[in-house]
Structures are given as C-alpha cells and as structure tokens.
Chain A
C-alpha cells in the first residue's frame, strides 16, 4: 500500500482551506454591481391570493424591481418539475400539480414564494417586501400524513382528488394474502417515520450574473449537482440554453440531499439577473431554510410479517402513507416508491413482499430526499418489525435475524422487490457487531444498571441499502428522466502534475482527497501533484453530481477508467521513446518500463513528450488528457449491523447512549479515516432522528419547529464514542470493489436506537423521536 494510495488514511487535502477560513461559499462571492433578492413568503398554509399590490414596495428606497408569478409566466419561465414518474394503481401517471416558482393565484404552504424584491441592499429588499400588500382568502389547511387522503378533507390541488399523488402497489397481493391466512404467526406494527428538516450547516444561496455581451448566465448555487441544475433549468424551466448557462457549485457547506433539488429561489435569481441586468444574490436565513428547504421522511405505516413456527419469514406486507408536501420536489415521487419499497427485503430471504404506498399532498413544505432517502424509512420499518417478530416468537433478536438472513452463498441474490444484491456476508457483520458490543455481557450490565435505578436496553439493526445510484437503464425503466452515469477527465499538464475533473460534487465528503488517492495509486503520481476539480459546468466536462452514496462507486470508476486510457496511451508514447515494442511496455508505480530491461521513463516524462511531441509515435494524438464515462450495471449494496446500548433514567425519561457499535460492509475502503468520519456523521444523523429531531406543523399549517431553539439537532454531548468495524465483501459488479458509505449510519442507526429503548422499557413500540417525555410516558405506561 502506498502511503497516500488506496487504503491510506490520508489527511484531507481540502481541510487546510476550510480550517483557515479560506473556503469560498456562494454567499462569500462579491461582484461589482451586486443586488440582493428577498422573497416574500406566504404566512398562510393554504390561501387564494386575491390580489397583490406592490406599488409601495416598488417605490421604496433602493428597490430595483418587484416580481410576481405573472412576470415569470409572461417570460415563459418555469414551472418547477418533478423528474421521476410513478404510475398510480389506476394506470395513470402520478398527479403533478403545477409548481410555479412564484405563486400564481394560490399559496400552498407557509413559506411558499409569493413575490421577490430586488434591491441595492438586503435590508432595503426586506423593508420593501413588508410593503407588498397581499389580499389572501385563507382556506383550511391539511397537514396530517395519516388523514390527508380521508374523505371530507380540504382539497389542495384540483388535479389531485383526495390529495393523492399516487397509490402505488407493488408485489403479488393475492399470494401474500394467502400466506398470511395460513401462517403460524403474524406480527404487526403501526409506526411513524418522523418528518425531518435536513439542515445542512450552510443555508441555501444563489448568485446570478448575466453577461449581456455573451448572453450567458452564470449561476453560483449551493448545489450537489451543478450539471443537473443546468440541465433542468435549461431543458424544463427555459432559463437559458445549456451552452449559455454556467452553473457553479463552489464550496458547499453540507447537503445531505437538501441541495440536490432545483428550487424556486434558484430559478428566480437566474431569471431576475437578466431581467434587471445586474448580478442578484439571495442567501436563505435559517428560518427560510426551515420553511422552504425540502424536508425528509414523514411516513405513517403498518407493517406485518407472516412467519412459520421457527420464526422464518414467509411474507411481508406493508401499507405506507407518505407525505410529499404541497408540491412535488425534483425527486419527491421517487423517495417513497423506488428508493423505499425496493429495499423492503432488507437482509432477509423473505420470499414474498407486498407493499402499497399512498403518497399524499399536504399544506407543508415539499418533501424529498434526505440522507438515505427512502432507505432509512424501509430499514426502520423492517428492523423494528423484526424485533416485534422476535418478541412475539420469544426469540433473541440476533437469532431471528440469523434464521432469516440471505446466506452468504446466495449472492448475487435476487430479492422479490426488483433489486439484485451484489455481495454480502450478513452473519459476518452481525458476529463482529455482537463481539464489539459485548452482546453476551449485556445482561450483567443490565443488572448492574438496575441496581442503580436505571434501565438498560440493547438494540440491533441489520440494514442493507442500495447506493451507487444508478444504472441508467434501470433508472429509465422506472420512469426517471435522466441517465445516472458519471464522467471524469484526468489531465496531465506538461510539467507532470495532474488535474482530475469529476462530475460528482464534494460538499463535505472529502472527494478532493479520496479521488486523489485513487489517481495516486493508479498512476503513481505524488498526491500533492494531483488536484481534484469539481462543481463548475464550465470546467468539468459533465456529471450527475453527488447523492445516493454514488460518488466513489460511480464517479471513482470513471476516474479509474480515464487513468486506464492514459496508461494505454502512455505505453505507445513510452514504446516510441524507449525504442521498444508497445507490447513489451509495462506500467507500475508511475513508471513505464521495457519488460526485462532497465529501460524506463516516468509518467511525467511521458506527459511531457505528449505535449512536446518532437519525437513521437506516428498516428498518436499529442496531449495527455483522457476522459471517461461510467454507467454501472447495478446498484451497490452496502450492509451492516449496528448495535446500540442505552441506559434509561425512568424518573425523567432521559436516554443515554452508552455504547454504539457499527459494523459495515462498504467493500474496499479508499480512505478509512474519511469513511469512519462518514459513519460517525451518519450515526449522528440517525440518532438525531431517533431521539431528538421532529418537524412539527400546527393543524393550521404553521411550522412550530422553525428554529434551532425548537428543532433539536444532535450535538456531541448526545453521542457516545463509536466502535466502528468492517466486514467487507467484494462487490463483483463494481470495478473498484467499492460500495459507498455516506448514508449508512443514517439508515442503520434509528432502528438500533429505538430497538434498544424499547428493550430497556420492555414495551412493544415507541415512535420516534424518543424524547425524554415520550420515553417517560412509555415507561409509566409499561409500569401501570
């Protein structure tokens, strides 16, 4: 292993600029003539706009323009789109109400976009926004996921009767019913997957600049996928043709999914900068982030498992209501469907699965992908249900999992829900996790805690996820509007250093280091001579961005493929220079050599020859710069077992996580330190959902948790030190042997935590978040 190659915990190259405060985020960018945008947002969850009078605002000091939905419509801009079609059970595509970037006649959630003010300063824009008079006719609001589709509910969109976006059954309902009818035992659980606000540290921002000389718009955005933004804004929102639109995602302070989507503010800023012919900047404050970022999760489900007398799973049946919010966000429909139901097999060889997802509209912010996106919901449901099954069958939770695991020799394993798992050894991960957690010693620790008046519990979660999104053909079959390959360009400069252009985007993941390690390992170039460049449609050739733990599994392979091409070309150049046959040239450790001789030249020398081709092989193009696209043939399927141990104070309901052990299969690790950091962050996210975070709307649609004073994010003192281990398997479909690690913790942790708390309290179930009061009440009820 090279000290800076694959498998080395190289310190992150990007951290120097972040630690020195030299990061450059969208809001940091200042340009001459800058103006500022402030959005007037709806104070009502559901209302008809009778009139908007912005004459006073237009006359206010510093105001350049005030725009409403009519102005956008007049220019043919928008509406925002949803990129994935789900077919409802009536054979029709999902119901897609118009999603104007600025409201046209109606607002559908608190924070919805009513108008935009462009002014010389932010404060002037805010002052003017307060002068806009909007006459609303307020309508009743719908906020409850469970009852949004009930008869008699207020209708939100005409195109979506009963507020239903789609009703999507999957699987053989009759066959599943038959198994349930004759099963030895059926375990059943009703559960809620709590709504979350994703809350990346940097709020969203957009800076639009229009060059009237070139007719080009440059849009700096807090984006996880600049090319996707460009494509959607061009092809669907008519902002500008692709070749006249440059999208830059500079340093981005976390995304976790919330910065995938094309938002109203981004489109409006891009359009307005041309309209006023001045640069326009908008930066969300935290309240706006709470109100108008896409939220995550928000499911209400019933799950049932049919078992035989040995606790073997025979069939799974799931009914889920999923809240999509007021409008469809860019990938909103995909999350509770393909990213959810296709993961319901989990790690188990359950032969039959039937699921039915009813996706509903409510007067709340749009809901879309948030770290894990659908997979945390599937895993939480399944891993909670499995613990109920264990309780019902009087089996140890580890034992019932073992009895149902897909065996190691069954891979590749075709699940009954579309996905074909590439590789896995679920027993190996469970064994190691049980060892790390000292599962055997738990009862003694529980006794000791009891003597102190505390209650200990231990919980297992064995998850699988699909990442490395995604094979384009599969995406197309499922109704997705794009291909999900990735591209890379690896360019040697004449002086021998390397620039790596990737279509993925790093907003905390450490790609600038991990990808440099890949290139260092493959081409033998010192890591300090490698620069990874991402996030600018004008610099990187193309790309689909970063989400779904895809960057290494898809983008990393594209980089490796480009390196392959460089080596192949380098052999021709070296053969010529070394006066040898191309077939005799070997490449290793950055050096081309003639087999069996001491004749060799470095890859840097080859690069120089390629740019200064004074003596050069015939028919070979000058230059040392290759690109590659990679389209995976399958998803990758990271899996693992997480075990959480908690101590509950029954007097207050306070839960302390005393031990957390995570064993994951991510395939081959490129940078173990970065991977472990991702695991830690993911678990923190999952613990946040399990114990702290919940996004609450009042019945009238007002957001109750609109600040960090009311919405509890996990902090260091909510978390223990983690014990992290790995049980890797080799995914045969991935050329690098890698899987993806960014979401695993957020997927694995919530059921591990809740299973532990439920175990401590000796109850059947407790909905997330397990706040002290919820736990206290459950403890009281259990005692009664």
Chain B
C-alpha cells in the first residue's frame, strides 16, 4: 500500500467536498475490492474518504411495495433483515451468499454496485427488480446504471444514497459460483414484477445486463421449458481460465431455467 490521507466524514456533502479538495481522492465504502487493490499497489489514491460514518447512508426501510436499502448497509445486514427476507427473500438470499462472512460484514450494497465488478451479485438484482438508485443529486433507473465493465452512470463525485427495490410477485437468484473466488461465473436473477418478467444476468458478460432474449422467450410466463430454444450469443460472453464463453452461455440458460422454476 502506498501512503494516503484518510478522512472520515459524517455527511454526504462533507464527503463530496473532501473529494473535491483531494488530488486523487476515492470514496471508501466497505473496501472489499478497493483495499486489496491498494494493498497490491494497483491503486494509489491520494485521499481515502471513508463513508462509514454517514448515518443517512445506512438502514433498511420497507413499505408495501418497496424495500429501500441504504448504500452503506452491509451484505450481512441485508441478509439478516426480516423486512428484506419477507418482502424479497431472493435478495436476502443473494446478499447472504456474497463472498464469505468477512466480506459480508464489511462489504456494502452501494460499494458493490458502484464498483460494478462483472461478476458481482447485486447488479443482477438491481436490473431484474427494476430498482432505482438514489444518489446525492438524482435518481438513476437500474436499467441505466451499469454502463460497462467496472463502469456506471455515476459522476466522479456522486455518492449513492440508497437503492429502492420494488417488491416483486416472485423472484429467484441462481448463482453458479467460481470455486476459487466464489464470485458468480454466471448469476441469473429472475423477477416477476408489475412490469412483467424481468431478468438480470451477471458474470456472463463484461457488464451485468438484462436478459432480454430470455425474457422474450418466456413471453410473460414462468415456464422454464420456454427457455430451451433460446440461443445466446457466445461471442458476447466472458472467457477466462474459469469458464469459456461457450460454457458461460450454456450456464446462463441453465441458471435462468432454475431461477424460473424457483419462482414457481
């Protein structure tokens, strides 16, 4: 790790101001990607602005049709939340299977989606549930939030305040884990929403995406057999030492079918 200035702030505005005043500042949420990267000397921010002291970024609020989760809420808190478990059990289950207990007790929802790792779990849920990302200055639709590998619609100094998940009629997340990292080689989130059946796919491509081909094949019905004939573009898939593009394309279908079945 290179030397850096550490600042802990108590408000969103103070965080934004601190970033503005820094040469090359970075917000620190749970640090589960950023700190290992810094330890490996692959990142060297001049200033690390710790968001963990900002009360307004924390907590879970549930209404009849929406669950709103503060950006600095940890995966463990989401997994253990009775409100989330009741309203969107698939989301609680997703959070409860991210990484390992150490990661889940430090890592946060906001940190995960702001980082937008191609193999992270939350992006699939944000997309499938049609969530809305609320920042310190605007609201961003889940469909518009993830723009590329490790890239999002966020401005440099924009801070996620919370994410609002509409409560679906049914939802399920199926993750095919990388046996080493336990990230998703492929993860498919299927949700039956007021907007119809929506599918979010992570791990398969450089950026989490909406499974439009899969949604089209389902044609509004939670019938997994309808997915058998779907052809997914192998050339769009990630390929690495853990899984080839062809295998990933196959797994997307298998996981999608299993998620559809689990919705029923």
Contact = CB atoms under 8 A, between A and B. Distances in A.
Partners in one complex: yes
B179 A704 contact: no
B180 A712 contact: yes
Contacts of A713: 180
Contacts of A287: 40
A711 B176 contact: no
A712 B179 contact: yes
A771 B243 CA distance: 9
Nearest to A769: B179
A771 B179 CA distance: 9
A692 B183 CA distance: 15
A168 interface: no
Given A287-B40, A652-B254, A776-B247, A718 B179 contact: yes
Contacts of A692: 179-180
B241 A705 contact: yes
Interface string B18-59: 000000000000000000000011000000000000000000
Given A126-B41, A651-B254, A773 B243 contact: yes
A287 B242 CA distance: 19
Contacts of B161: none
A652 B176 contact: yes
Contacts of B250: 776
Interface string A706-719: 00111111000010
A696 interface: yes
A705 B241 CA distance: 9
A126 B1 CA distance: 9
B40 A711 contact: no
A648 to B, nearest CB: 14
A710 B180 contact: yes
A774 to B, nearest CB: 10
Nearest to A780: B250
Interface of B is mostly: loop
A451 to B, nearest CB: 18
A771 B2 CA distance: 38
Contacts of B183: 709
B97 to A, nearest CB: 11
Interface in A695-734: 696, 704-705, 708-713, 718
A696 B240 CA distance: 12
Contacts of B244: 773
A123 interface: yes
Interface in B226-262: 241-244, 247, 250-251, 254
B99 to A, nearest CB: 11
B181 interface: yes
Interface residues of A, number: 23
Contacts of B3: 123
Contacts of A772: 176, 179
Given A651-B254, A652-B251, A773-B247, A710 B179 contact: no
Interface string A675-702: 0000000000000000010001000000
Contacts of B180: 692, 708-713
B241 A710 contact: yes
Contacts of B179: 692, 712, 718, 771-772
Interface in B87-127: none
Nearest to A126: B41
A710 B243 contact: no
Nearest to B254: A651
Contacts of A127: 2
Contacts of B247: 773, 776-777
Nearest to B253: A651
A710 B254 contact: no
Nearest to A704: B241
Interface in B144-195: 176, 178-181, 183
B197 to A, nearest CB: 22
A655 to B, nearest CB: 11
A652 B181 CA distance: 18
A696 B41 CA distance: 23
Interface in A334-372: none
Interface in A101-149: 123, 126-127, 130
A696 B183 CA distance: 20
A710 B1 contact: no
B251 A710 contact: no
A771 B244 CA distance: 12
Contacts of B1: 123
Nearest to A715: B179
A705 B178 CA distance: 13
Residue among B41, B178, B181 with max Cβ neighbours from chain A (10 Å): B181
A380 to B, nearest CB: 21
A450 B168 CA distance: 35
B234 to A, nearest CB: 14
Contacts of A776: 247, 250
Interface in B203-241: 241
Contacts of A708: 180-181
Contacts of B254: 651-652
B124 to A, nearest CB: 18
A650 to B, nearest CB: 10
Nearest to A774: B247
Contacts of B251: 652
Nearest to B180: A712
A773 B240 CA distance: 12
B257 to A, nearest CB: 9
A123 B38 CA distance: 13
Interface string A626-664: 000000000000000000000000011000000000000
A710 B181 contact: yes
A772 B176 CA distance: 10
Contacts of A709: 180-181, 183
Nearest to B248: A773
29 contacts: A123-B1, A123-B3, A126-B41, A130-B41, A651-B254, A652-B176, A652-B251, A692-B179, A692-B180, A696-B241, A704-B241, A705-B241, A708-B181, A709-B183, A710-B180, A710-B181, A710-B241, A710-B242, A712-B178, A713-B180, A718-B179, A771-B179, A771-B242, A772-B176, A773-B242, A773-B243, A773-B247, A776-B250, A777-B247
Given A708-B180, A773-B244, 10 more contacts: A287-B40, A651-B254, A652-B251, A708-B181, A709-B180, A710-B181, A710-B242, A712-B180, A718-B179, A773-B242
Closest 4 CB pairs of A and B: A712-B180, A712-B179, A709-B181, A773-B247
